[in-house]
Chain A
Amino acid sequence: MQRFINNPDEVVEDTVKGFVKAHADLLALSPANLRVVVAKGAPVAGKVGVVTGGGSGHEPAFIGYTGRNMLDAVAVGELFSSPTAKSFHDAIRAANGGKGVVCLYGNYAGDNMNVKMAIKLAAKDGIEVATVVANDDVCSAPKDEREKRRGVAGEIFMWKVGGAKAAQGASLEEVRATAQKAIDHCRSIGVGLGPCTLPAVGHPNFQIEAGTMEVGIGHHGEPGVRVEPLKSAGEVGRDMARIVLDDHDLPAGTEVAVLVSGLGATPLNELYILFDTIEEEITARGLTIAKTYVGNYFTSLEMVGATLTVMALDAELKALLEAEARCTMVL
């Protein structure tokens, strides 16, 4: 594959350099750490700081959700690799407005360890840190082992809700509990049609045979629950909705927010083709779609495929999802 890169080992540096120039109205690079992006105006005195971090290659996640009433600071990792404990720590410091900091991140071994160490470092600065660990990917572990599931695009809803709650002046515990509720109300699934390659590695680290698809694929190409012949978009969309909704088990009449994200190399029109039947399947179950997002919200380099996230809404989550916020994405 032909790429717009300078040096395969400096893809992250170069991405971040361009990103902060493009969005200078919203955010800036931390002067203390070139792997930390900080929202304009952060830290806000008296507001709970909201932080995340994760490997690069998922743009616009994670940095693209930095902004007003959204994430105050984001730690940036190597491609598909957790940020360092130092970067998480520096992000926590950059977001600290004196009321504590909530770190809302995804369930991956590296992130868990680096956040744990960052919390220890932040404690020495006297900063209280609470965490919510996203685990919305239904195919990554069975339902009775939800704590093992990975975090995927549901993290965006968790950030939006957490950011909005913090902006209202809520306490650290209130922000944590509300962000936890947001992710507990999310279920996601990915379907992969083609692999992706880390530029420094140079070849795809997994294969998806022509004519097949991988149902339940993870955000780094973690294999799914099954490989099967590629079906029509209608059948795939229906399958995705079924898997998510069967796990969710929502009573008819529930309002939901729906997010369909491309994984990097799938054209937008195909996401809309998928959404057409996803919408049919969701409404056929008596659910009401209150908000819909379709686009490249959380990608995996140039993976071909899409993810579906469904968040069940209550009055609080709906209001927080609709609260005003500014970042690089429309939310």
Chain B
Amino acid sequence: MQSFSNAGGGAIVLAMAERIIENRAYLSEIDGKIGDGDHGVNMAKGFGMAAERLKGTEATLAGALDTLGTVLMTEIGGSMGPLYGVMFTEFAETIEGLETIDAAAFSRMLHAGLAGIQSIGSAKVGDKTLIDTLVPAIEAFDGATSAGRSFAEALDALVAAAEAGRDSTLNLVARIGRASRLGERSLGVLDAGATSCAIILKTLCEGARARLG
């Protein structure tokens, strides 16, 4: 049974922060087409602050996710602060205390994050939000593991589904959040939250995959 160690997993969160900061301008640009244009700015600020706190701490994955979630929730605000804040703190609580994380624990973690988001937001698949990335990604992961595929293969399936989910937002009309006021005018633009969610999930999965033993 493949698994990866919680210890030292804080590096995965640092990698996530790096990727979000690299994509600061891109995320703001796509957000600006149908939103305020501040998604990249706020995400980079929050992930950057969390990274500053984590650098040199040798945090576990659970500890680092908790730091990230807490920073987003208490320092960032907007819509993404509470949504990602609750997702990461739920991730952290699910795997806290585990020595190693196997596919079952990873799945529980993903589901807890999704449930946290759904407890404060009301978006459903098809509303053109980060849910369009997260829900199919979790389904693909669960589908792969229940089909008997390895943890590594399930992580690959998750990333592919997350990216397809992100791309699906291109042809969706926003039904929630600021972009929803645009109606049909939101067609043809990726949702910024769905895009950042794909970056987050890809970095998380790559980090997990590289550590599998």
A residues lining the B interface (CB < 8 Å): 9, 55, 77-87, 108-110, 113-114, 116-117, 140-141, 148, 150, 198, 200-201, 203, 205-206, 218, 220-223
Considering the chains assembled together, what is the distance between the CA atoms of A158 and B180 in angstroms?
25
B residues lining the A interface (CB < 8 Å): 28, 31-33, 35-38, 41-42, 45, 73-83, 120-121, 176-178, 180-182, 185
For the complex formed, measure the closest distance between the CB of A12 and the CB atoms of chain B, giving whole angstroms: 11
Considering the chains assembled together, what is the distance between the CA atoms of A166 and B169 in angstroms?
45
List the B side residues contacting A55 at CB < 8 Å.
78
A109, A117, A140, A206: which contacts B177 (Cβ < 8 A)? A109
Whether A85 lies near B82 (C-beta < 8 A) is: yes
Considering the chains assembled together, what is the distance between the CA atoms of A170 and B43 in angstroms?
42
Considering the chains assembled together, what is the distance between the CA atoms of A41 and B28 in angstroms?
41
Whether A222 lies near B82 (C-beta < 8 A) is: no
Whether A80 lies near B77 (C-beta < 8 A) is: no
For the complex formed, measure the closest distance between the CB of B77 and the CB atoms of chain A, giving whole angstroms: 4
Name which residue of chain B comes closest to A33, CB basis: B74
Whether B37 lies near A198 (C-beta < 8 A) is: yes
The answer to whether residues A83 and B178 also contact, given A78-B42, A201-B38 and a CB cut-off of 8 A, is no
For the complex formed, measure the closest distance between the CB of B190 and the CB atoms of chain A, giving whole angstroms: 15
A-B contact pairs, 5 of them (CB 8 A): A82-B79, A83-B77, A84-B75, A198-B36, A201-B32
Considering the chains assembled together, what is the distance between the CA atoms of A77 and B76 in angstroms?
8
List the A side residues contacting B74 at CB < 8 Å.
84-86
B33, B37, B81, B185: which contacts A114 (Cβ < 8 A)? B81
Considering the chains assembled together, what is the distance between the CA atoms of A114 and B77 in angstroms?
7
Considering the chains assembled together, what is the distance between the CA atoms of A79 and B121 in angstroms?
22
B45, B82, B181: which contacts A140 (Cβ < 8 A)? B181
Apart from the given pairs A78-B76, A109-B178, A201-B37, 13 other A-B contacts in the complex at a CB distance below 8 Å: A78-B38, A81-B36, A81-B78, A85-B81, A108-B178, A113-B120, A114-B77, A117-B73, A141-B181, A203-B32, A205-B32, A205-B33, A221-B36
User: Of residues A9, A85, A141, A203, which shows the largest number of chain B Cβ atoms within 10 Å of its Cβ?
Assistant: A85
Whether B79 lies near A110 (C-beta < 8 A) is: yes
B41, B77, B78, B181: which contacts A223 (Cβ < 8 A)? B181
Whether B181 lies near A84 (C-beta < 8 A) is: no
List the B side residues contacting A198 at CB < 8 Å.
36-38, 41
The answer to whether residues A84 and B81 also contact, given A109-B177, A116-B120 and a CB cut-off of 8 A, is yes
Considering the chains assembled together, what is the distance between the CA atoms of A113 and B87 in angstroms?
14
Whether B181 lies near A114 (C-beta < 8 A) is: no
Whether B82 lies near A218 (C-beta < 8 A) is: no
List the B side residues contacting A80 at CB < 8 Å.
36, 38
Considering the chains assembled together, what is the distance between the CA atoms of A220 and B177 in angstroms?
13
Name which residue of chain B comes closest to A84, CB basis: B77
List the A side residues contacting B182 at CB < 8 Å.
222-223
List the A side residues contacting B75 at CB < 8 Å.
84, 86
Name which residue of chain B comes closest to A35, CB basis: B77
Whether A9 lies near B181 (C-beta < 8 A) is: no
Whether B77 lies near A77 (C-beta < 8 A) is: yes
Whether A86 lies near B38 (C-beta < 8 A) is: no
Whether B41 lies near A200 (C-beta < 8 A) is: yes
Name which residue of chain B comes closest to A116, CB basis: B120
Considering the chains assembled together, what is the distance between the CA atoms of A197 and B78 in angstroms?
17
Name which residue of chain B comes closest to A79, CB basis: B38
Name which residue of chain A comes closest to B186, CB basis: A223
Whether A117 lies near B176 (C-beta < 8 A) is: no
List the A side residues contacting B38 at CB < 8 Å.
78-81, 198, 200-201
List the B side residues contacting A82 at CB < 8 Å.
77-79, 81
For the complex formed, measure the closest distance between the CB of A209 and the CB atoms of chain B, giving whole angstroms: 15
List the B side residues contacting A77 at CB < 8 Å.
77-78
For the complex formed, measure the closest distance between the CB of A282 and the CB atoms of chain B, giving whole angstroms: 27
A117, A141, A150, A205: which contacts B36 (Cβ < 8 A)? A205
List the B side residues contacting A140 at CB < 8 Å.
181
Name which residue of chain B comes closest to A76, CB basis: B77
Considering the chains assembled together, what is the distance between the CA atoms of A55 and B79 in angstroms?
11
Whether B78 lies near A220 (C-beta < 8 A) is: no
Whether B36 lies near A113 (C-beta < 8 A) is: no
Considering the chains assembled together, what is the distance between the CA atoms of A150 and B82 in angstroms?
20
Considering the chains assembled together, what is the distance between the CA atoms of A250 and B80 in angstroms?
40
List the B side residues contacting A113 at CB < 8 Å.
79, 82-83, 120-121
List the A side residues contacting B77 at CB < 8 Å.
77-78, 81-85, 87, 110, 114
List the B side residues contacting A117 at CB < 8 Å.
73, 82, 120
List the A side residues contacting B82 at CB < 8 Å.
84-85, 110, 113-114, 117
Considering the chains assembled together, what is the distance between the CA atoms of A148 and B182 in angstroms?
13
